[in-house]
Amino acid sequence: MTLTAISSPVIELNCTSVIYRKGKEKVAALSEVDFTLERGEFVTVTGPSGAGKSTFLQLCGGILSPTSGGVRFMGLDRGRMKDHDLASVRNREIGFVFQSFNLLDYLSAEENVALPLMLAGVAEAERLELARHRLESLGLGHRRGHYPGELSGGECQRVAIARALVTEPPLLIADEPTGNLDHDSSSVVMEIFASIHREGTASILLVTHSPWVAGFGNRTIRIDSGRLV
Ligand SMILES: Nc1ncnc2c1ncn2[C@@H]1O[C@H](COP(=O)(O)OP(=O)(O)OP(=O)(O)O)[C@@H](O)[C@H]1O
Ligand SMILES: [Mg+2]
């Protein structure tokens, strides 16, 4: 199963809610959200801190399961998908840039970027070359041997972006990918997302607090207090 082979919307949420439970406390992080991401769209997501944006992205990326309501990937009902199909969608079809990067501390920058290629069965020499190329495109060729603990926050963020892009997945989901970057680095990153959108090679869902970054999308949605507004 691949995203590119199926003509249904890439993601559909139908009256979907997420409630976190922490002890006796319940947090309604997303409430009855309806959303469709069509193929080739670049949707930017804005909203205040704590509004539910990261929760929304994790739901759309198959990382979180809904408390109620439906989630469909390429027309397939998440609730009916077998574990290995969901894992395959997550590993092969979606490049996810986490707000907190989620780099592996014991791997170098280039090994972190090469990891999804290893999972996809690409040979070592080829995957390291692809990883280097990605890091160079983000201005990090000279840091490829550094470990995350030896990189700045903005450099870690760009490594995380390189890792999401390296397999050229048909769906890119990015949680505040320019949150730690200065204007020049943000421009480099956003030009990469914009060119992917222009070429139509991936659908993109991107959270940002920056109106300038939000303007790169062909559509912007806003989440406030767990609702699409
Ligand atoms: N694992 C969790 N357990 C309990 N509550 C959670 C959990 N994760 C998030 N929350 C709560 O759910 C709400 C939505 O969180 P979320 O991370 O989606 O917000 P956000 O819009 O991404 O915020 P920010 O802009 O600060 O990143 C917040 O009130 C948060 O405290
Ligand atoms: Mg967030």
- The per-residue pLDDT for 4 is 46
- The per-residue pLDDT for 92 is 86
Residue 57 phi/psi, 5° resolution?
-65, -40
Q: Which ligand is nearest to the CA of 223?
A: 1
- The per-residue pLDDT for 7 is 79
206 assigned to some structural domain: yes
184: domain CATH number is 3.40.50.300
121 assigned to some structural domain: yes
> Whose C-alpha lies nearest to ligand 1, atom 4?
20
- Total of domains in the chain: 1
Q: Give 127-174 pLDDT, tens digit per residue.
A: 999 999 999 999 999 999 999 999 999 999 999 999 999 999 999 999
- The per-residue pLDDT for 6 is 58
74 assigned to some structural domain: no
pTM of the entire predicted model: 0.96
Residue 125 phi/psi, 5° resolution?
-60, -40
Mutate to test the pocket of ligand 1, among 55, 97, 213 (most ligand atoms within 8 A of CB): 55
Mean pLDDT of 91-110: 96
69 assigned to some structural domain: no
Tokens of 38: 């069509």
117 assigned to some structural domain: yes
Look over the chain and give the mean of its residue pLDDT values, rounded to a whole number. 95
Q: Give 161-220 pLDDT, tens digit per residue.
A: 999 999 999 999 999 999 999 999 999 999 999 999 999 999 999 999 999 999 999 999
210 assigned to some structural domain: yes
Q: Are strands 219-224 and 227-228 parallel, antiparallel or unpaired?
A: antiparallel
For 142, residues 6+ apart whose C-beta sits below 8 A from its C-beta are none
For residue 144, the 8-state DSSP code is T
49 assigned to some structural domain: yes
71 assigned to some structural domain: no
Mean pLDDT of 67-78: 95
- The per-residue pLDDT for 91 is 87
> Whose C-alpha lies nearest to ligand 1, atom 5?
20
Domain ranges, residue 216: 40-62+87-228
Distances (CA, A) of 89 to 10, 53, 86, 162: 11, 21, 5, 19
